[in-house]
Structure 1
């Protein structure tokens, strides 16, 4: 709608003071001619907007014409711009509304707070979707102050880090892009020797901000590097098929935890085939059969956490692994011999 576009032009000019007509046209996805007509309409409505000719020219707004949001501290302004990732808003059909809202808020912020708010929006990202097969953390990251300082001051970070795969401790000098909260777990997204890398902040043994400026790859922003790293993990195939029967009383909890591991139906199956399979594999009353996919046997061993409320029916290798772990655990709690 034109009224929304006129407001967007005014707010963009409040933020930047002056922009080329072509830049405004690109941002609002209209022609330069349309922008010029809108500028005339704003001027006729009393908005002090004018054109500046020449190579450095463009559309400008008279300095001082703005509305301040009073009472906001710098930290409050920064908090407004620590936002959910773009896909979360797109899923709700709010992508365009988000962009419009941010322009309005940014234009209305007091001028001293705008740089911090803009930096926070580019350096901190929230992604609420859980990794495939990975439950959320039992506790938050121990300390984020050094990570925040590094990403918000564009400094390098020296990190002593304990890796989950082999428990080894290594030291890295990193060029941070920003922080990402993934289903309640905070991650540092950074370059190490010019290559993108991901670090869980709760595995850091120490983190020190260096005096050296971060040396990021040209043209790369946090969202770009995060998308690359996220795809590397999400696109790993999960070849291990696991069949579990789950007690109905805990089925909702089970499905909530293992939703990322649910096996998609074979696209080659017809509805008739799917119905026949369900009839042949029904379990006893009070239990529901669930098909899952895991990347490795060790990942599927997490099913033991449900105890007698979830029984793995297949594969046999997993049943044997769970039986061994259950027996070893039970042995720890056998009565101790009398002294």
Structure 2
């Protein structure tokens, strides 16, 4: 079945290419090609330099009964949280029921037994900390998905940080989920924009076609926007001395490390960029006495006042 699906999706492939994709020998591929032909699957060989194996045009192997949302859910099922972030959890559940029902009976029981032995991305970790994904109403997600897939403009009521919600019309490009957080990549008046799905309060697909390229490399687009985010805006650079054993804890939350050198007492001295003052305060507070902000002075005052308030509370 995997061999047939590869030929369906890729077209003509050589025995060597099929063997590499399926991680088997070319001898196994040739034997399976013969078995498929004997079973009535219209696979044929083309000779010559650009030859290979192909299926007769129009041949399909169909999993019947899947609706578009269920098919989409299966495509993003590699990340269970991806289906949740895009509002496809229920579609995935119903699609998997249809997949199981389509299996031969001898495989169905085996698949069910195996599935009980696997758990992916549980809701809590070993410390019983609940991993909470952002909640976005299904009706809003459905409207956003429709606009993205249909290529139409989208009107959203968006609540940016520390701003009153406003309506804005955008040209949607694609959807991205990162660490349980969903984002809409779009343009507005030709400028790149990234919107957090949890901050969309309402959405309406418009009938006007979106102004966007026919094809897009979402991975590249996300990398470019991430780079601009890390290097632009109202960033703050903080001079920190810290215990080297906590370096990775700091670096993993920062936007960038500008400079780094050993201090005289075995600690490290770093210049670290953060998104803003609030981001810097949060990151350094997590490190307790293993780090000290040397500059800017305003951040030292903020951390001192916060520590004093905590000490007073527990006096």
Q: Secondary structure at the match of 1:140?
A: coil
Matched, 1:323 2:307: no
Q: CA deviation at 1:199?
A: 0.7
Q: Does 1:312 align with 2:292?
A: yes
Q: Show the counterpart of 1:61.
A: 55
Within 5 A, what are the aligned runs for 1:265-284? 277=262, 280-282=264-266
- What does residue range 25-36 of structure 1 map to in structure 2 within 5 Å? none
Q: Do the aligned residues in 2 keep the contact of 1:303 with 1:310 (CA within 8 Å)?
A: no
Q: Deviations over 1:266-311 (max 9, x none)?
A: 5xxxxxxx7xx36x3236xxxxx67461236613111464385555
Query: Which ranges of structure 1 fall in alignment gaps of 5 or more residues?
Result: 1-6, 29-40, 53-57, 86-104, 109-136, 267-273, 284-288
In structure 1, C-alpha distance between the alignment counterparts of 2:225 and 2:7, rounded to whole Å: 36
What is aligned with 2:177? 181
Tell me the CA shift for residue 51 of structure 1.
Answer: 8.8
Task: Name 2:21's counterpart in structure 1.
Answer: none
Aligned length in residues: 237
Match runs of 1:168-207 below 5 Å? 168-207=164-203
Pair 1:153 & 2:150 matched: yes
Judged with a 3 Å threshold, the aligned counterparts in structure 2 of structure 1 residues 223 and 84 are, in CA distance, closer, same or farther, namely farther
**Retained in 1: the 8 A contact 2:45–2:54?**
yes
Give deviations 1:70-110, integer Å, cap 9, x for gaps: 7866544322212779xxxxxxxxxxxxxxxxxxx9xx9xx
Q: CA deviation at 1:265?
A: 6.8
CA distance in 2, matches of 1:82, 1:177: 17
Give me the whole-angstrom Cα distance separating, in 2, the residues matched to 1:232 and 1:84.
28
CA distance in 1, matches of 2:133, 2:53: 51
Q: TM-score, normalised by structure 2?
A: 0.55
How many Å separate the matches in 2 of 1:240 and 1:64? Answer: 60
Aligned-residue offset at 1:216? 1.6
Matched residue, 1:243: 240
Alpha-carbon distance change, 296 to 184 in structure 1, aligned in 2, over 3 angstroms = closer
